[in-house]
Structure 1
Amino acid sequence: MQSLSRLTYPAYSLDIPDKLIKKINQDNFNFIWKNKYHYINKSDTVKPAKEGGLNAIDFDPMNGTIKLKWLQNFIIKGDNFWFDFPFKIFKMFGGIHFLLRCDFNISKLPIKLSAFHQQVLQYWKLIYKHNFTPHTVPIWNNRSILIKRKSFFYGEWMEKGVWSIVHLLDNYGNFLTYDVFTKKYNLMCSERQFKTVIQAIPQALITLVKGMLTYSVVIPREPTLTIDAYHFLDKNKLNNTFFRNVLTSICFPSPFKRKHIFEKFTSSCLVKIRTSYLSFPISPKVKEVHFKVMNEIYPCNNFLHQRFNMDVNVCTFCNSDIETAEHLFFSCSVTQTFWDAFQYWIMYDTQNIPNLTYEYIKFGLQMENRKTEFGVNNLILMAKYFIHKCRFLKTSPVFNAFRNDIILHKQSLKCCKTKKALNLHEYLCKLIP
């Protein structure tokens, strides 16, 4: 969408406040639903099509994707001129590569970062799973090891290989004395500084590490920067799509809310039902109507009566029965006449097409002959859209009028060069010589 694309470039260099992200999402999703009622919860709308969603873009994961790509480029190209200023800032924490391995809290870092860099680190904390093990957690930039309510980093200690609690303990889990420590690591520091660091370590952490040293030799290793088993610097695996999918799943962890509609289908069949129609060579409005009917959110009179207490509840065509989606698109006497003519028409070329039921009209047919299945399902979707159009025009669906629409669509397919458009044109030529 153009509105989101215009925000991409500013997001590369500016932080986007939560209040503004909320406003952007509100405008974006109002546009998707044409400034009307949102028939599907946002947590379902942002899900991929194969999971029943619309693959809509929430700006929060999109902003996070941009920030994480900046972080990825910063680590890889840290010596670049454009990263000179942030490189010097993060060097005060041991460098960005080391800081990301630490169990830090942004508000407790000794230097206040810019809002942009804070937002970058927030999204990193969101996707990075910091598996806590007492002997591998760095004491530097640690949210639990504080001096004057702030975490700290001593570069001289880090250069000598001192970064874990294990480096401060002997083989029995007791703290090294000041003299032994300075001699072991050939480190020049004041005794006061040494004692301050030891006193800052919580007793619970000391007890955990001491218990591990009692039973085995512990060799501390720095945590790896992996996201879902992939290294953070692997740009081929960790691309924009990967980051957006991960952040979307974290921001919207709730499962799909309309699973009961598709209970009878297998997982492979369900993915096909939810995604195959998206590549059909037909109008987006036709696909929109099909999506609403399939997910039971089509705004028929009974649906509007239940949701918004609308007075009118009778069928637009027969003016007698309650207008549910099943009645409007299948069981109404007027609609049944249309479908009888439709079935007779499509069976002229292929005799093995089953009698149409509401389930077939709602979800589409599953046939052994893929070409016939493709052609019939395209026609079913266009037929549903024709009924939808007749409802708003307050006219009865007449098959001959629908056939004229198909003739016009067949002529437009001549201008298309895609394989599916040519396949549909070939199928329609058999029905309409």
Structure 2
Amino acid sequence: MLAYKHNFSPHRYFLWNNKDIRFKNKSLFFRNWFENKIILVGQLLNEDGYLLSYGEFIYKFKIPITPKEYAIVFDAIPRGVVSLLNSSVVDVSNIDLHENIIIGNINIKDKCSNKQIRNIVCDTTIPSARFFWSNIYGDIQWGNAWKIANKYCISNKVKEVSFKMLHRIYPVKHVLERFKLNIDYKCDFCGMEKETILHLFFACIYSRMFWIDIKNFVTKEIGPVVLFNGFDIMIYFRNSDIDKDVVYLITFHIHKCKWSNLKPNFFHFINEVYVKQL
């Protein structure tokens, strides 16, 4: 488990367990370097601000390392960091290798599991989507919202769409607008309003007509009138008269139509569902 700081400082830029310094997509840790207090990238620069050559490294630190080990570490260091450190002086005299690292009430240098650390982080971290949907729909049983999709026998692709909708990371054009792309941000279905998650899956005229067709079909088949609202589609379906996994299949159909340049179609959806059941 790696713990990172957001207050980046090149003068305290660590070599080990650094997400930016990797070999074969894995962070590095060489114990013999660490025990000899080679900890920061800044220690590997010469007086001119350039990375030490192999000979300069051996002369400076007096530890035996192989050329391969040298190449792994030095090739992994981002050149942008070297530029930031150019002509800097790094003082390692005050570095305490035995300094405790505390997260919550756990010292991660002691024996502890990733589960313990994750539980502490999760207890203090609230997804931003929670505030957004709570402002729209009021009180939500978030324990059900996060877990309910995993209770049904549906494919991971269907679950992924539901997950992205709930966390507000589904790539509708409103989400992509932050990247300032040169595209039309209107809805792919109606072409009239901005394409948000709520609009695409519920409020768009084509999606609403699709949901009305579904409602009429379900009402005809099971008797009671079944109404679909934004909460049922975006958070979780609360009606007990029909199988709740059907809603996930319906939103997945809308998802496929968006990326196939088609409009949601009730007859196509029914054919898909029956074909998969056969």
TM range (shorter): 0.5 to 0.7
CA separation in 1, counterparts of 2:154 and 2:264?
19
Distance 1:399 1:319, change over 3 A: same
184, 190, 207: which one aligns with 1:318 = 190
- Whether 1:337 and 2:209 are equivalent positions in the alignment is yes
Contact 1:273 1:364 in 2 (8 A): yes
User: For 2:222, what is the secondary structure of its paired residue?
Assistant: coil
Matches within 5 A, 1:59-138: 107=97
Distance 1:257 1:20, change over 3 A: closer
- Whether 1:409 and 2:276 are equivalent positions in the alignment is yes
Displacement of 1:406 in angstroms is 0.7
Contact 2:206 2:264 in 1 (8 A): yes
User: For 1:400, what is the secondary structure of its paired residue?
Assistant: helix
Displacement of 1:253 in angstroms is 6.7
Contact 1:127 1:246 in 2 (8 A): no
225, 244, 248: which one aligns with 2:118 = 248
Displacement of 1:300 in angstroms is 1.0
CA separation in 1, counterparts of 2:199 and 2:253?
15
2:77 aligned partner: none
Displacement of 1:277 in angstroms is 0.8
Contact 1:292 1:298 in 2 (8 A): yes
CA separation in 1, counterparts of 2:199 and 2:103?
47
148, 156, 161: which one aligns with 1:289 = 161
Distance 1:356 1:250, change over 3 A: closer
Contact 1:289 1:385 in 2 (8 A): yes
Greater RCO structure (CA 8 Å; 6+ sep): 1
- TM-score (norm. length: structure 1): 0.38
Matches within 5 A, 1:12-23: 17-19=16-18, 23=22
1:265 aligned partner: 139
Contact 1:262 1:270 in 2 (8 A): no
User: For 1:18, what is the secondary structure of its paired residue?
Assistant: coil
User: For 1:352, what is the secondary structure of its paired residue?
Assistant: coil
Displacement of 1:349 in angstroms is 3.1
User: For 2:220, what is the secondary structure of its paired residue?
Assistant: coil
Which stretch shifts more, 358-367 or 396-405? 358-367
CA separation in 1, counterparts of 2:106 and 2:211?
55
Contact 2:127 2:167 in 1 (8 A): no
- TM-score (norm. length: structure 2): 0.58
CA separation in 2, counterparts of 1:129 and 1:251?
11
Q: Which amino acid aligns with 1:260?
A: F
Distance 1:294 1:19, change over 3 A: closer
Contact 2:253 2:269 in 1 (8 A): yes
Q: Which amino acid aligns with 1:18?
A: N
Number of aligned residue pairs:
191
Contact 1:294 1:363 in 2 (8 A): yes
2:252 aligned partner: 385
397, 401, 422: which one aligns with 2:264 = 397
CA separation in 2, counterparts of 1:364 and 1:126?
34
Displacement of 1:19 in angstroms is 2.5
Higher helix share: 1
Distance 1:20 1:363, change over 3 A: closer
Displacement of 1:390 in angstroms is 0.7
Displacement of 1:345 in angstroms is 1.4
Distance 1:251 1:341, change over 3 A: closer
Contact 1:313 1:323 in 2 (8 A): yes
CA separation in 2, counterparts of 1:394 and 1:401?
14
User: For 2:171, what is the secondary structure of its paired residue?
Assistant: coil
CA separation in 1, counterparts of 2:194 and 2:103?
49
Select the structure of larger CA radius of gyration.
1
Contact 1:347 1:353 in 2 (8 A): yes
User: For 1:19, what is the secondary structure of its paired residue?
Assistant: coil
Q: Which amino acid aligns with 1:298?
A: Y
Q: Which amino acid aligns with 2:18?
A: K
Give % identity.
19
- Whether 1:356 and 2:223 are equivalent positions in the alignment is no
User: For 2:221, what is the secondary structure of its paired residue?
Assistant: coil
Matches within 5 A, 1:112-261: 243-250=113-120, 254-258=124-128, 259-261=130-132
- Whether 1:278 and 2:278 are equivalent positions in the alignment is no
Contact 2:158 2:252 in 1 (8 A): yes
Contact 1:302 1:323 in 2 (8 A): yes
Structure 2: state its 5+ residue gaps: 1-14, 28-94
Q: Which amino acid aligns with 1:290?
A: S
Q: Deviations over 1:25-48 (max 9, x none)?
A: x969xxxxxxxxxxxxxxxxxxxx
Distance 1:408 1:252, change over 3 A: same
